[in-house]
Amino acid sequence: MSSVLTIKDLTEEEFTLPGNAACPGCAAALSLRIALKVLGPKTIMIVPASCISVIQGYYPKTPCRVPVLNVAFASTAAAGSGAVAALELKGKSGVKVLCWAGDGGTADIGLQALSGAAERNENMIYVCYDNEAYMNTGTQRSGATPRAAFTTTTVTGKLERKKSVPEIMIAHRIPYVATACAAFPLDFASKLKRAESMPVRGLKYIHLLSPCPPGWRFPAEKTVEVGKLAVMTGMWILYEWYDGGYNLTGPSKALLEKSRRRPLKDYLSIQGRFGHLKEEDLESLQRDVDEHWEEFSKKLGIRA
Ligand SMILES: Cc1ncc(C[n+]2csc(CCOP(=O)(O)OP(=O)(O)O)c2C)c(N)n1
Ligand code: SF4
Ligand SMILES: [Mg+2]
């Protein structure tokens, strides 16, 4: 596997242009900018209904300098599979297919199409930008919304736990699965580069935590701070899975020991969506994080 990219490895050329419809502080728009710098102009994007479908353009304008196929909400991975097949039939090599879908479009309505594409091991990259709710339609809960978070359909806090799509993808035994966070763009860029340059054909999946100021209820200038806290508190673990084994990446490498992790409260208390929580709720969520790490640490070093 190649090493971690530095800022000098990213081209100064821009493939998403300013003046688009993203909210100030939108991590999804920031990450898309980075992603297209890594993948370059020979990329076809497949985008379902979501904030990104709005950001990539109100017809006839678009900020994206690559072709974008807008598809129905459930069909991202199916449409991506079709694009891969069409490119192969036309004998066009070197063109990358990038599916870029939200958590609603991935963890919920698009999951069967994604599972089918993973089982067929379609030769494409799939990024789920996870802002942990259906943001484009006004912050309804999704399968990826974390427990206790306020959304407009969980007004006293979500009761269920977050669904782990990366673990579901690992169960499909595709060549590459990783998590990333928009606040660590070079970690994300390195993972995309790895996914792109792997010699083996097949589906590469990256699950990108993408803080959303209006949906998570924090000021727009705090996007990177919130994303960093998600990782530093251990709420979000940065890892890769390939060749049957897990590796921690970025700052998560140093967080196996509980004492090195920031208290979860630091992450929760700066977001309005967790503003209703009492001390005992915070303690219960902290226990979830600690248990998750304990479970996760047992998988490290095992290759099967
Ligand atoms: C079949 C269908 N149901 C509902 C919608 C309405 N809709 C458009 S975008 C969206 C939310 C998408 O959520 P997510 O995938 O998490 O992306 P985000 O908006 O958060 O970026 C919904 C429900 C739709 N376009 N098609
Ligand atoms: S609602 Fe959130 S994800 Fe959607 S454009 Fe605004 S900041 Fe980005
Ligand atoms: Mg979403």
Residues sharing a CB contact under 8 Å with residue 32, sequence separation 6 or more, in sequence order: 16, 52, 55, 100, 129
Cβ–ligand 2 contact at 135 (below 6 Å): yes
CB neighbour class for 4 (10 Å; exposed up to 12, middle 13-18, buried from 19): middle
Residue with tokens 């979501």: 50
Q: Which of 127, 131, 145 for a ligand 2 pocket mutation test, highest count of atoms within 8 Å of Cβ? A: 131
Selection from 111, 125, 102, 107 nearest residue 35 by Cα: 125
Instruction: Identify the CATH number of the domain defined by range 10-299.
Output: 3.40.50.970
| CA–CA separation, 75 and 110 (whole Å) | 6
* Distance from residue 154's CA to the centre of ligand 3 (Å): 15
Each of the 304 residues of the chain gets a pLDDT tens digit; together they read: 557 999 999 999 999 998 889 999 999 999 999 999 999 999 999 999 999 999 988 778 899 999 999 999 999 999 999 999 999 999 999 999 999 999 999 999 999 999 999 999 999 999 999 999 999 999 999 999 999 999 999 999 999 999 999 999 999 999 999 999 999 999 999 999 999 999 999 999 999 999 999 999 999 999 999 999 999 999 999 999 999 999 999 999 999 999 999 999 999 999 999 999 999 999 999 999 999 999 999 998 765 4
Distance of CA 190 to the CA centre of its chain: 14
Q: What is the pLDDT of residue 301?
A: 75
Cβ–ligand 2 contact at 30 (below 6 Å): no
Cβ–ligand 1 contact at 136 (below 6 Å): yes
Give the residue, by CA position, lying nearest to ligand 2 atom 6.
23
- Read off the DSSP letter of residue 91: T
Cβ–ligand 1 contact at 31 (below 6 Å): no
> 260 — phi, psi (to 5°)?
-85, -10
| CA–CA separation, 264 and 217 (whole Å) | 17
- Check: CB of residue 127 under 8 Å from CB of residue 99: yes
